[in-house]
Amino acid sequence: MGTLTGKTAVVTGSTSGIGLAYARAMAKAGANIVLNGMGKPEDIEKERAAIEADFKVKAVHSPADMTKPAEIAAMVALGETTFGSVDVLVNNAGIQYVAPVEEFPIEKWDAIIAINLSSAFHGIRAAVPGMKKRGWGRIINTASAHSLVASPFKSAYVSAKHGIAGLTKTVALEVATHKITCNCISPGYVWTPLVEKQIPDTMKTRNMTKEQVINDVMLDAQPTKQFVTVEQVAALAVFLCSDDASQITGANLSMDGGWTAA
C-alpha cells in the first residue's frame, strides 16, 4: 500500500517539468491522477499511458486552461466523477515573463496573475467542499524562491508567487480542523527541459562554457551551485501527503540550495 493508494491527485501543469514529476511520484505512491496542461495530444497521451503502465493506477487528462475559472472547476469535477474524489490538489501550472515594470505588457501581467495565482484560488475553491465532506485533504502549491525574495524585471511572477504564499497561509487556517493541510513548496532553480534548453543559446551569446553559464548566470543566487531536481520537489510533495506531515500546514517550504538564506 502506498501513501496515496485509493486516493486521487489533480496536478495542474503536469504535462511537463515539475508537474509531471509530481504526477508520477503521486502515482508511484498509489494515487489515480488527473493530469492537466498544454502540449501535443500525442505527447500528453504518451505520458498518461506511461503513468498507468508504470504504476498500475488510472490517469486522465483535463485540458482545462488555467486562465478560465469554469474550466478549472470542470477539472476538479472530472476527478470527482471519474475516480470518486479529489483528495490531493497540486496547484503547479505557471509561466514566466521578464521585462522592466514600465514596459511590462499588460496582457502578460494578467496572464501570469491568472495562471500562477488565481488558478490556485479557483482550484482550491472547487476542491475544498469534497475534501471537507470526506474529512481529509492535501493542497500543495508550487510557489518559488520568488515567493520570499524578488529579482528585477519579474514583477508579475514575484507578485503572483508572494500571493501564492499568502493564499496558502489563509487556506491553511480556514481548513485546519478538517484534516486538510495547505502548504507551498518554494524551489530555487530546478533542472527542467525549459532550463536545459536555454544553455546552448546562453553559451553562444555570452561566449561561455556550459559550466560558466550554469554557475555564473543561472546559479548565481544558489549557494550550492546545483540545480534542484524535479524528483526532489516531487518527493517533498509526497511527504506532505503522508500522515507524518499532518501537522505541517500553512508552511512555505524552501528547496533552493540556500538561495533565500543569503
- Catalytic residue at 97? no
Q: Which of 22, 83, 109, 189 binds ligand NAD (CB under 6 A)?
A: 189
Binder to ligand NAD among 190, 236, 237, 253 (CB under 6 A)? 190
Among 4, 10, 11, 18, which residue interacts with ligand NAD (rule: CB under 6 A)? 18
CA distances in angstroms from 211 to 112, 199, 218, listed in the order given? 31, 10, 10
Burial of 107: CB neighbours in 10 Å, binned 0-12, 13-18, 19+ = exposed
Least Å from the CB of residue 203 to ligand NAD: 19
Contacts of 215 (CB under 8 A, 6+ apart): 225
Per CB under 6 A, 10 contacts ligand NAD: no
CB atoms within 10 A of CB 223: 13
From candidates 67, 226, 232, 260, binder to ligand NAD by CB under 6 A: 67
Of 74-82, 100-108, 172-180, 191-199, the segment contacting ligand NAD by CB under 6 A is 191-199
Do residues 62 and 86 make contact, with C-beta atoms less than 8 angstroms apart? no
Which of 32/142 has CB closer to ligand NAD?
Answer: 142
DSSP at 241: T
C-alpha cell at 107: 496582457
Site for ligand NAD in 119-148 (CB under 6 A): 142, 144
Asked if 254 and 144 count as a contact pair (C-beta separation under 8 A), the reply is no
Q: Does 257 bind ligand NAD (CB under 6 A)?
A: no
Minimum distance from CB of 148 to ligand NAD (Å)?
11
Residues with a known catalytic role:
157
